[in-house]
Structure 1
Amino acid sequence: MSYSAVLKREIFNKEITSKEEKYAELFGIFSAKKSFKKKGIHFSTENVSLAKRVYSNLRDVTKMDIQIKYQVDKKLGTHKIYEVISLVTKNSEKEYKHLLNKMLSLKNFFEKKTEEQLAGIIRGFFLSCGYVKSPEKGYALDFFVDTEDSATYLYYLFKNMKKRVFQTDKKNKSLVYLRNSEDILDIIFLIGGVTSFFEFEEVIVNKEIRNRINRNINWEIANETKKLSASEKQIKMINFIEEKLGLENLTDVLKETAYLRLENGDLSLQELADLMEISKSGIKNRFRRLETVYKSLVEESQSEN
């Protein structure tokens, strides 16, 4: 089961007692799927748990007649489509108007929302059209919204919450998405995915530890490679001096340095300096002098040719 499905299952098992939060969740669900109609509410989904939740919440907040049914859709395979329908009649016009007013009062994204309302609205959008990628594969929270107006509403809702949110079009849908792990964690916790929150956080921590270890290993490898590269260059230079001049013809200091390097090709400059009981700048100075001898011998060799 995907991480997203696990999170939704956890949310479906979460009981909401506040009517205000139920209004907010229904508003998010219906806004995402353009379910508000002139003749009433018509919501459809392939998720039976979501259909049952919508039906149950509507029963708790309105006295309108509500129906739940399903039909089989054979396009691109066989699918069951669950529908929650509440049609307006003469007797229910007033009740429907009250229901719309309660939900649509949340539509102003600049108006300050309570945490309860925010949780309900975002949870509704997520249950209806949201997807969270498994944190092992990356950090992504996506909402594929039916209308651009509703997507823009959700975008500014996140903006007002100081989240790093983006909006674009994809697959004939308006996509609102977050890619920052901290923002995604905040949203998962807000909408009631407490267990999923801790699982997501644990993955992040483990990934950071692995990345830190890998960075340290890469740093050590790079340093070792750099050290060996410098050593190889110095040994090549010393061998050329031996061939053209002879190390015995060097000053005692440079001769000692040359032989020590030939005997300890795997040591760093600092380790060589420690063996000779001099400073690192001192050993660098000796190799500069050896390099001067090397370059003069190279020039002589080239002029002879």
Structure 2
Amino acid sequence: MSFSNDVREEIARSITDRDRQFACLYGILLYSRIFTPQQVVLQSESPVFARLMPVLFRAVFQAELRPDVRTVSRGGDQFMVSYTITDAAQIGRICEVYHIHPEKREIRLSNLVNNSLSAFLAGVFFGCGSVIDPNKEYHLEFNTPSALLCGDLQKVLGSIGVAGRSLMRKNMYVLYLKDSEHIEDTLTCMGAQQCTIELMNIKIRKDMRNKANRVRNCDEANINKVVSAAMRQMQDIQLIIRCGQLEAMSPELQELAELRLENPELSLKELGELLSNPIGRSGVNHRFQKIAAMAEELRKRAANS
């Protein structure tokens, strides 16, 4: 089961009374890809859609409408269910009930009574919407059939605080959401509260994984810095020893140099704690700077000799 189908299952269960059924069917019809005076076609690969459509038609039109129902195999377990109406009188009845003008389809808020906006959005989602599994990415979109309907839907979503962006794709006007919180608000409004909770849980798991990765990467970077610094310090000390200058260093620097050679894996803080007179990290770093300066001077002498 896909996340998108889970959303359809949940919002279908929320379409319970006639007002919500009326608004849901309105959303499906209004945003159908084909709606002309000669033909209305409603299509979906969703089994939820196939179960819901007869219920909605009976609730709103009783026996007045008799769509031609066809199921076409798309390969494997995939099937396309198509509801087609070609009778001019029946199409005229749909237009009369919902005040739809096929040549200029637009949202009529007067069709949405008794707080049925959520059911209307559910219908639009059934008709032209999809949402990607949030484990992969955050993306919800509506493939609307006209610029006017795309703009109307953008305004309706804006009324609930959701900002969508639009683009053209294969002659369809796509309204899409990328912001996870806006997707959550849309799912909740449509009646998919459990799917909203699942999306939020996925976000929490992703955030935890990202934080763990950042900590691990930070730890690795710190380890690499410690190793690189220790290697430079040991090279400096070994150069000083080869040049017979170890005894020329102060007792404090000699002790630190010997500790570093014996403990190449320790941090500056840990080295400082092992000194006969323990000092902090900054004190150890200052002493290594003196050792580095001494080694650099020996290198210059060797280059000039």
1:234 corresponds in structure 2 to: 233
1:208 corresponds in structure 2 to: 207
Contact 2:22–2:59, Cα closer than 8 Å, also in 1: no
Moved more, 288-297 or 51-60: 51-60
1:284 corresponds in structure 2 to: 285
Q: In the superposition, relative to structure 1, how do residues 183 and 56 fare at CA in structure 2: closer, same or farther (>3 Å)?
A: same
One-letter identity of the residue aligned with 1:241: I
Q: Note the residue ranges of structure 1 that are not aligned, 5 or more in a row.
A: none
1:99 corresponds in structure 2 to: 98
2:83 corresponds in structure 1 to: 83
Aligned-pair identity (%) = 25
SS in 1 for 2:115: helix
Contact 1:43–1:85, Cα closer than 8 Å, also in 2: yes
Post-superposition Cα deviations, 1:92-116, rounded to whole Å, max 9, x if no partner, equal 9788534327xx998268x9x8893
Contact 1:166–1:178, Cα closer than 8 Å, also in 2: yes
2:217 corresponds in structure 1 to: 218
Give 1:153 shift.
1.9
Q: Does 1:250 align with 2:220?
A: no
5 Å-filtered alignment, 1:1-305, equals 1-19=1-19, 21-34=20-33, 36-38=35-37, 42-47=40-45, 49-62=48-61, 65-71=64-70, 81-85=81-85, 87=87, 89=89, 96-100=95-99, 107=107, 116-276=115-275, 277-304=278-305
Give 1:249 shift.
2.0
Post-superposition Cα deviations, 1:230-260, rounded to whole Å, max 9, x if no partner, equal 1111111111111123312211111111111
> d(CA) in 1 for partners of 2:113 and 2:186?
15
Contact 1:62–1:99, Cα closer than 8 Å, also in 2: no
Q: Note the residue ranges of structure 2 that are not aligned, 5 or more in a row.
A: none
Give 1:50 shift.
2.3
> d(CA) in 1 for partners of 2:62 and 2:73?
34
Contact 2:74–2:80, Cα closer than 8 Å, also in 1: no
One-letter identity of the residue aligned with 2:43: T
What is the CA RMSD across the aligned residues, in angstroms?
Answer: 3.3
Contact 1:33–1:128, Cα closer than 8 Å, also in 2: yes
Give 1:64 shift.
7.6
Give 1:141 shift.
0.9
TM-score (norm 1): 0.83
Q: In the superposition, relative to structure 1, how do residues 283 and 72 fare at CA in structure 2: closer, same or farther (>3 Å)?
A: closer
Q: In the superposition, relative to structure 1, how do residues 216 and 271 fare at CA in structure 2: closer, same or farther (>3 Å)?
A: same
Q: In the superposition, relative to structure 1, how do residues 115 and 169 fare at CA in structure 2: closer, same or farther (>3 Å)?
A: farther
SS in 1 for 2:264: coil
Post-superposition Cα deviations, 1:131-179, rounded to whole Å, max 9, x if no partner, equal 1111221111122222222122222322333324211112332211111
Give 1:272 shift.
1.6
> d(CA) in 2 for partners of 1:270 and 1:252?
19
One-letter identity of the residue aligned with 1:166: R
> d(CA) in 2 for partners of 1:266 and 1:80?
64
Contact 1:158–1:165, Cα closer than 8 Å, also in 2: yes
Moved more, 7-16 or 139-148: 7-16
> d(CA) in 2 for partners of 1:82 and 1:211?
43
Post-superposition Cα deviations, 1:249-291, rounded to whole Å, max 9, x if no partner, equal 2111111111111112111112222223112221121111111
SS in 1 for 2:120: helix
SS in 2 for 1:169: strand
One-letter identity of the residue aligned with 1:221: E
Q: In the superposition, relative to structure 1, how do residues 233 and 93 fare at CA in structure 2: closer, same or farther (>3 Å)?
A: closer
> d(CA) in 1 for partners of 2:210 and 2:86?
53
SS in 1 for 2:256: helix
SS in 2 for 1:67: coil
Q: In the superposition, relative to structure 1, how do residues 96 and 251 fare at CA in structure 2: closer, same or farther (>3 Å)?
A: closer
Contact 2:15–2:24, Cα closer than 8 Å, also in 1: no
Post-superposition Cα deviations, 1:7-52, rounded to whole Å, max 9, x if no partner, equal 2233334442151x3333223212321555446x723214464255
One-letter identity of the residue aligned with 1:158: L
Give 1:75 shift.
10
